[in-house]
Chain A
Amino acid sequence: MDYFLTEEQQMIVDVARQITEELIIPQRAELDETEEYPREILKAMAQADLYGLYIPEEYGGFGGGPFAMVLALEQIARGCTGVATAYAASALGAYPILISGSEEMKQHYLSDIAAGKRLAAFALTEANAGSDASGIQTTAVQDGDHWVLNGTKQWITNAGEADIYTVIAITDRSKGPRGATMFVVEKGDPGFSVGPKEKKMGIRCSATCELIFKDCRIPKDRVIGRTGAGFITVMKTLDLSRPGIASLGVGLGQGALDEAARYAKQRVQFGKPIISFQAVAHMLADMAIQVEAARALVYAAAKHVSAHPNDASKAASMCKVFATDTAMKVAVDAVQVLAGYGFMRDYPVEKMMRDAKILQIYEGTNQIQRNVIGQELNKEYT
């Protein structure tokens, strides 16, 4: 369907699509197998200006907001959700600085992030703080001109690859949700180290590790925004980033549909291409309907959250749930259409099915998204 993109938006799609076709699709199976971080592909994406899409022009970006990111991510994820995750993670890490950082901090970090010279990562999750962010145990204590961090973050995307980490830590436990603060920790800061790479079901070329803070001393100007405002920054970050995760679902779903439909046209059984059997054609039709509906919702939500409305969280969660549940379902169905071949690693759909699962889990499980939507509805209907 035509979404009436502007000329500039169409250019984003074209550039991202070219990278997907020429660089990502030929390498995705090998990257999945070797679990190697896709440095060369990310470098090409940086060179093509894709790292600065959502960053305002005054900080060296393209100024396209979350919608520009959604357009690029969809194309990249059509090729490989692992590469797309590695790419998206830098934006997730940069959003806290963009949303709450001081002017000085933005000037200092954002232009390098926009140029892809330095990658960013976002660190919220801990062993005891997944869906329940109040379980955070990492602490930060002020000591003269420094903050001292202690604790361990878990499952951090881009860990070890990123240079800039936006990290949430408890600064005053007595204040409850107002007692958490976000900091910038840089690669090489004393007391900061990265754990071994996790072994994952999908998105295997993206790097996922622990971040370990052991008396990690950082200068006091590394506080993002006010002390105590950490959770607010996290919430606002997720409002902007979740449409991006949703668009990974659209891209993955589209990729799975493309593979399934192409296969169904050329696979002959009982003397006919299997797409001519209603059982298969209806599956493909349902896949196409769901992917298109997801795309329409994600595009609308990405534009909606860009204006920072009061109900941004609801829109962000709605598109995240719908598009990622769709991706999972469509990927499973794509494997079914390819049947035995689909189960083999010679075809890309089994990887898509493994990759799809994380979309329903990370950046807030889809159950948590429904909680958010439910709470918002509860507020709306007084």
Chain B
Amino acid sequence: MKIVVCVKQVPDAKDVRLDPNTNTLARDGVQSIMNPYDRHALEEGVRLKEQYGGTVTVLSMGPPQAGETLREAVACGADEAVLVSDRAFAGADTWATTHTLSQAIKKIGGADLILCGKQAIDGDTAQVGPGIAERLGIPYATYVKKVVTCENGAIRLQRMMDDGYDTVEMDLPALMTVVKEINEPRIPSLKGKMKAKSIAITTLNAADIGADPDQIGLKGSTTQVVRVFTPQVRGERAMLTGTVDEVVAQLVEKLESLL
């Protein structure tokens, strides 16, 4: 079984600051980590490989330093690492990102099973996993908390819901996004760390994956960030006292004064 796990390098949430002048995320000097949900996706991919056989390829779109995250994934059990990196990808929203990642997956020969974290902790959209599946025309399941079986060309799994869980079966190839409850990610092994140090990361650019220039990067993005700002923290509060009728009257008066 060929398993592809999509991972994203994100700023460490413990260490997020906004640049007070530009109001954008200050990335200088901020530690980068593997998106925590992707860790669980990787662990599940490695466990499925250990149980059913096959290979795990980790895939990431990002700048060259995202290679560190891919090496970390190799230390935790991935067999191969692919980085899709090109200046033309910069500024991509989920529309452009899913085009890029799905093209990359096609380029590396497709996959029987694709795993993603349920969302990234920086953008928090939860759209990339489903988007890749839509673009590849394969079934997908989100919020997976358990894989029950994966055999005879199908995967049976449980999706975490607010009021219990759904059991779903999908034909392979398929994609799933996972929640943290699915497993406890392993600590990298010595052999994994040594492999990670020496592994050659396959690097692909926009031309390599046959990306449509109109579908990538900022240009291919359907969402545009107009302005990022930190909402002003307002400390003022007022207590309205009196009978209910009096308080309502005071409130209406205050609201009217704001119009």
Which residue numbers of A lie inside 8 Å of B, CB to CB?
7-8, 11-12, 14-15, 18-19, 22-23, 44, 47-50, 53, 62
Some 22 contacts from A to B, beta carbons below 8 A apart, are A11-B193, A11-B194, A12-B190, A14-B193, A15-B187, A15-B188, A15-B189, A15-B190, A15-B193, A19-B187, A22-B187, A23-B187, A44-B187, A47-B189, A48-B187, A48-B188, A48-B189, A48-B190, A49-B189, A49-B191, A49-B192, A53-B190
Residue on B with the closest CB to A22? B187
Binding site for A on B (CB under 8 A): 186-194, 197
- Which residue of the partner chain B has the closest CB to A17? B187
The CA-CA distance from A23 to B187 in the complex, in Å, is: 10
Closest Cβ–Cβ distance, residue B19 to chain A (whole Å): 32
- Minimum Cβ distance to chain A for residue B77 (Å): 9
| Chain A residues positioned under 8 Å from B190 (CB to CB) | 11-12, 15, 48-50, 53, 62
Q: Which chain A residues border B197 with CB–CB below 8 Å? A: 7
A14 closest partner in B (C-beta): B193
- B185 to chain A: closest residue by CB: A22
Q: How far is the CA of A62 from the CA of B186 in the complex (A)?
A: 19
Contacts of A14 in B (CB 8 A): 193
CA distance A44 to B193 in the complex (A): 15
Q: Which residues of B contact A11 (CB under 8 A)?
A: 190, 193-194
Complex alpha-carbon distance, A8 and B188, angstroms = 14
Q: How far is the CA of A14 from the CA of B197 in the complex (A)?
A: 14
Q: How far is the CA of A261 from the CA of B213 in the complex (A)?
A: 59
Q: Which residue of B lies closest to A52 (CB)?
A: B190
Q: Please, which residue of chain A has its CB at the minimum distance from the CB of B77?
A: A47
Q: Are B186 and A44 in contact (CB under 8 A)?
A: yes
Residues in B whose Cβ lies below 8 Å from that of A23: 187
Given the complex, which residues of B lie within 8 Å of A49, measured CB to CB? 189-192
Given contacts A47-B189, A48-B187, 12 further A-B contacts (CB under 8 A): A7-B197, A14-B193, A15-B187, A15-B188, A15-B189, A18-B187, A22-B187, A44-B187, A47-B186, A49-B189, A49-B190, A50-B190
In the complex, what residue of chain B is closest to A68 when comparing beta carbons?
B190
CB-CB under 8 A from B186, the residues of chain A are 44, 47-48
**Bound Cα distance A8, B195 (Å):** 12
C-alpha spacing A44/B192, complex, angstroms: 14
Task: Identify which of B186, B187, B188 gathers the most chain A CB atoms within 10 Å of its CB.
Answer: B187
Distance to closest chain B CB from A19 (angstroms): 6
* Chain A residues positioned under 8 Å from B192 (CB to CB): 49
Q: Report the minimum CB–CB distance from B12 to chain A (whole Å).
A: 16
Q: Which residues of B contact A22 (CB under 8 A)?
A: 187
Task: Please measure, in the bound complex, the distance between the C-alpha atom of A7 and the C-alpha atom of B193, giving whole angstroms.
Answer: 11
Nearest A residue (CB) for B197: A7
User: What is the CA–CA distance of A62 and B194 in the complex, to the nearest angstrom?
Assistant: 11
The CA of A169 and the CA of B186, in the complex, are separated in Å by 41
Complex interface: chain B residues within 8 A of A50 (CB): 190
Chain A residues with Cβ under 8 A from B194's Cβ?
8, 11
Q: Separation in Å of the A38 CB from the closest CB of chain B?
A: 15
Which A residue sits closest to B186, measured CB to CB?
A47
Q: In the complex, what's the smallest C-beta–C-beta distance from A247 to chain B, in angstroms? A: 18
CA distance A283 to B86 in the complex (A): 58
Distance between Cα atoms of A235 and B246 in the complex (Å):
92
User: How far, in whole Å, are A233 and B197 apart by their CA atoms in the complex?
Assistant: 38
Q: Give min CB distance, B55 to chain A, whole Å.
A: 19
* Least CB separation from A19: chain B residue: B187
**Alpha-carbon distance between A8 and B198 when the two chains are bound, in angstroms:** 13
